[in-house]
């Protein structure tokens, strides 16, 4: 019988642990949103709700879709200099006229909650959530892992983590078809959100399927994997309710980690005075 990997329950445990670790500490997160995408608004509300649960102050800076790159960078630089801000979360995707790769580099690595900066101090919350779900699935054999999605810094970092666990990893874009290699894989991770869906016929019996794709059609959210996958897989992360809640929880975990590092730097500076 397939095991449904409950990301909501796992996220609740992570948040409970964070709330205990924060104690009476004051931690502030600022979320920067450019434009008014309905899906981004939903994700931001989820992050604010989770932040409130653990006692973190979460503020949102909403900028218009027409915001210039110069203005956005200036906004981020002000937040970098604001000592009351412990973490900055830039809500993606950005409008097409903005250079996302350049802009994420403008967030201080010391406040980069999402782990996008090239010199980031934290691991991507999405990677942390996928690794958490992989542990929940309790794999018997590691073997081959397939990552479906465009090659990126994210996929390369995820590959490194999986290889350390003992997986042999292959990456496939799967933009037009699902590669036959998935039939040999013990672990399939899909982070596409578009292109062909994954069906039972694409999956090896007993494999683990981690679905990080998000597809919205007529206000209904699904992932990259069809429900038929559950008839052959040993464990599946659902969409919604799988990767999403855990990713939010681990973004806040990164925030708490960065806040504690800031405290340590302040204590060292005081000690040298």
| pLDDT tens figures, 168-207 | 999 999 889 999 999 999 999 999 999 999 999 999 999 9
Least confident of 15-29, 40-54, 85-99, 213-227: 213-227
Query: 233, 214 in Cβ contact below 8 A?
Result: no
Element (H, E) at 185: none
Least confident of 13-17, 78-82, 213-217: 213-217
Dihedral sign, Cα of residue 183, residue 189, residue 191, residue 197 = positive
Assigned CATH topology for domain 125-244 = Rossmann fold (3.40.50)
Query: 88, 108 in Cβ contact below 8 A?
Result: yes
Pick the CATH number of 23-114+247-260 from 1.10.1840.10, 3.40.50.10860, 1.20.1250.20, 3.90.1150.10: 3.40.50.10860
90 φ, ψ to 5°?
-90, 115
| pLDDT tens figures, 75-117 | 999 999 999 999 999 999 899 999 999 999 999 999 999 999 9
Mean pLDDT of 29-36: 96
Confidence of residue 41 (pLDDT cuts 50, 70, 90): confident
The CA distance from 84 to 217, in Å, is 40
Say which residue, 9 or 270, is predicted with more confidence: 9
The pLDDT, as a whole number, for residue 272 is 60
The pLDDT, as a whole number, for residue 39 is 79
| pLDDT tens figures, 117-166 | 999 999 999 999 999 999 999 998 899 999 999 888 889 999 999 999 99
Looking at residue 182, the DSSP 8-state letter turns out to be: G
The pLDDT, as a whole number, for residue 141 is 87
Q: Would the pLDDT of 271 be above 80?
A: no
Confidence of residue 242 (pLDDT cuts 50, 70, 90): very high
Burial of 270 (0-12, 13-18, 19+ CB in 10 A): exposed
Question: What is the residue-averaged pLDDT of the chain?
Answer: 94
The pLDDT, as a whole number, for residue 152 is 83
The pLDDT, as a whole number, for residue 136 is 97
Query: 113, 47 in Cβ contact below 8 A?
Result: no
> Do 23-114+247-260 and 125-244 share a fold?
yes
Domain layout of the chain by residue ranges: 23-114+247-260, 125-244
Tokens of 71: 């203005």
The pLDDT, as a whole number, for residue 273 is 54
Cα–Cα distance list, 63 to 47, 51, 80, 94, 112 (Å): 18, 21, 17, 11, 19
The CA distance from 76 to 70, in Å, is 10
The CA distance from 59 to 117, in Å, is 21
The pLDDT, as a whole number, for residue 42 is 85
86 φ, ψ to 5°?
-95, -25
Q: Is 191 helix (H, G, I), strand (E, B) or coil?
A: coil
163 φ, ψ to 5°?
-65, -35
Q: Is 124 helix (H, G, I), strand (E, B) or coil?
A: coil
The structure's pTM equals: 0.93
200: left (phi over 0), alpha (psi -120 to 50) or beta: alpha
């Amino acid at each position: 019988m397939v095991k449904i990997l409950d990301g909501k329950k796992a996220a609740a445990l992570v948040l409970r642990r964070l709330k205990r670790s924060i104690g009476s500490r004051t931690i502030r997160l600022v979320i920067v949103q450019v434009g008014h995408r309905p899906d981004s608004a939903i994700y931001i509300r989820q992050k604010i709700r989770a932040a409130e649960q653990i006692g973190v102050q979460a503020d949102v800076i909403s900028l218009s879709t027409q915001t210039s790159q110069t203005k956005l960078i200036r906004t981020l630089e002000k937040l970098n200099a604001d000592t009351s801000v412990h973490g900055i979360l830039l809500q993606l995707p950005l409008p097409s006229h903005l250079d996302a790769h350049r802009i994420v580099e403008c967030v201080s690595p010391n406040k980069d909650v999402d782990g996008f900066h090239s010199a980031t101090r934290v691991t991507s919350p999405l990677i942390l959530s996928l690794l958490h779900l992989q542990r929940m699935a309790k794999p018997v054999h590691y073997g081959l892992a397939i990552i479906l999605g465009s090659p990126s810094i994210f996929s390369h970092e995820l590959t490194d983590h999986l290889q350390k666990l003992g997986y042999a990893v292959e990456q496939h874009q799967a933009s037009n078809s699902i590669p036959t290699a998935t039939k040999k894989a013990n672990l399939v991770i899909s982070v596409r959100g578009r292109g062909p869906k994954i069906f039972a016929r694409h999956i090896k019996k007993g494999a683990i399927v981690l679905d990080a794709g998000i597809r919205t059609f007529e206000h209904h959210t699904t992932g990259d994997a069809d429900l038929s996958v559950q008839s052959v897989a040993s464990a599946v992360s659902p969409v919604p309710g799988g990767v999403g809640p855990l990713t939010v929880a681990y973004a806040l975990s990164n925030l708490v980690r960065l806040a504690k590092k800031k405290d340590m730097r302040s204590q060292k500076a005081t000690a040298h005075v």
